[in-house]
Each structure stands twice: as structure tokens, then as C-alpha cells.
Amino acid sequence: QLASSGKREALKELLASRLASCGWRDDVKQRCREYVTKKGRETVTTDDIVRAVRPEGRATVPDSVKAELLAEIKKFILSI
């Protein structure tokens, strides 16, 4: 129901907005750039970048963003 109601897309938009506004997105972009510079543009793949940056990226999502998203999900579940 999350997908069929359109709520999933709304949650994704909310998450993207919050991550951009708190600077998280810029931080992850910078980490990606640093990784590519370190490894060399010709030898690095997108999968390499994702594997290298994902763990730290996930760990640095602000608790306030996680809490807001979780609250929205709970609100949706309770409304069905």
C-alpha cells in the first residue's frame, strides 16, 4: 500500500529534501570525489564508489532525519 498510495514517492522526496538541506548530500558527493581522485578516474567504477562510500554515508545520516522519516512511516501505517 505504501507504493500504490504514492506515499513511498512522497517519503523519498522528503528524505532527499532533508538530506540536501542538512548538508549530508554535499558531504557524500565530496567523499565520492575524494575516492575517485585517490583511486584514479580511469580505474574506478560506480560500484567501487558505492561500496566505498555507502557505509560511512549511511552512518552519517542525521538522527533527526531518521526520526522524521520513521514518524511519517508510522503515521501512514496507523492510518491504514
3-class SS letters over 15-64: HHHHHHHCCHHHHHHHHHHHHHHHHCCCCCCHHHHHHHHHHHHHHCCCHH
CATH class held by domain 7-79: mainly alpha
Q: Please give the pLDDT value at position 2.
A: 86
Residues of the chain with pLDDT under 50: none
Strand, coil or helix: what is 80? coil
Residue ranges of the domains in the chain? Answer: 7-79
Q: Please give the pLDDT value at position 45.
A: 97
Q: Which residue has the cell 528524505?
A: 15
Q: Please give the pLDDT value at position 1.
A: 86
Q: Please give the pLDDT value at position 80.
A: 85
What pTM, to 2 d.p., does this model score? 0.86
Q: Please give the pLDDT value at position 72.
A: 97
Q: How far apart are CA 77 and CA 48, in angstroms?
A: 36
